[in-house]
């Protein structure tokens, strides 16, 4: 059972503590930079869930970094995916010739990411890689490649650190589990 609106954030059990997020994100930043050592990196962040992850990831990066934002809708206000993905806000800049890193909060069924990778690949980036803070492999409906994964988790509904339930709880500094 998920809590109704307005559950006090202090009551949400910690699933991944803030210190573990910080440590892992620093490792991911090193890994990403290590794969593209001498070139610019262009981060494409998926709103809104990826924002906190992006903010911490780029602060751990060395070298030239640019960013852009995109919004997709795949979930309604509940916790089950409709499977339908829609582009709600497009990027401000083109991707031609850039080393693009997609930054997503979580890959669940994989439908959103698959859609996103298809449309971005068609814009001719020099390279296209994907970083997801969380992955729930047991929920996959489509085979999608994710180059950098922060944490692989079981099938739990998680919130915090950018992730929401009905637009709430994005501000938690840790990942909490609602079920």
Among 12, 105, 150, 176, which residue interacts with ligand IMP (rule: CB under 6 A)? 105
Place of tokens 């609602």: 178
Task: Round to whole Å and give the CA distance between 28 and 129.
Answer: 13
Instruction: Give CA–CA dist 130/113, Å, rounded.
Output: 9
Residues 21-80 interacting with ligand IMP (rule: CB under 6 A): 49, 74-75
Q: Is residue 58 within a helix (H) or strand (E), and if so which, with residue range? A: helix 51-59
Q: Are 11 and 168 in contact (CB under 8 A)?
A: no
Q: Which of residues 145-164 bind ligand IMP (CB under 6 A)?
A: 157-159, 163
Is 108 designated active site?
A: yes
Q: Which residue number, 56 or 108, has a Cβ lying nearer to ligand IMP?
A: 108
Give the span between the Cα atoms of 165 and 157, in whole angstroms: 9
Q: Which stretch binds ligand IMP (CB under 6 A): 10-18, 59-67, 104-112, 118-126?
A: 104-112
Catalytic residue among 5, 39, 68, 108: 108
Does residue 130 interact with ligand IMP by CB under 6 A? no
Residues 106-125 that bind ligand IMP (CB under 6 A): 106-113
Q: Could you tell me the two tokens for 51?
A: 């924002």
Q: Which residues bind ligand IMP (CB under 6 A)?
A: 49, 74-75, 81, 104-113, 157-159, 163
């Amino acid at each position: 059972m998920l809590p109704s609106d307005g559950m006090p954030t202090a009551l949400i059990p910690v699933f991944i503590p803030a210190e573990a997020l910080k440590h892992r994100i620093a490792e991911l930043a090193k890994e990403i930079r290590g794969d593209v050592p001498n070139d610019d990196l262009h981060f494409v962040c998926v709103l809104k869930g990826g924002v906190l992850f992006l903010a911490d990831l780029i602060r751990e990066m060395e070298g030239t970094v640019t960013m852009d934002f995109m919004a997709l809708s795949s979930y309604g206000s509940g916790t089950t995916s409709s499977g339908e993905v829609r582009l709600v806000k497009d990027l401000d800049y083109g991707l031609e010739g850039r080393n693009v890193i997609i930054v997503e909060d979580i890959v669940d069924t994989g439908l959103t990411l698959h859609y996103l990778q298809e449309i971005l690949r068609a814009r001719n980036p020099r390279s296209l890689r994907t970083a997801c803070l969380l992955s729930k492999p047991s929920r996959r409906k489509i085979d999608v490649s994710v180059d950098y994964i922060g944490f692989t988790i079981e099938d739990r509904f998680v919130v915090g650190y950018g992730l929401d339930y009905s637009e709430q709880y994005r501000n938690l500094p840790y990942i909490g589990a609602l079920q």
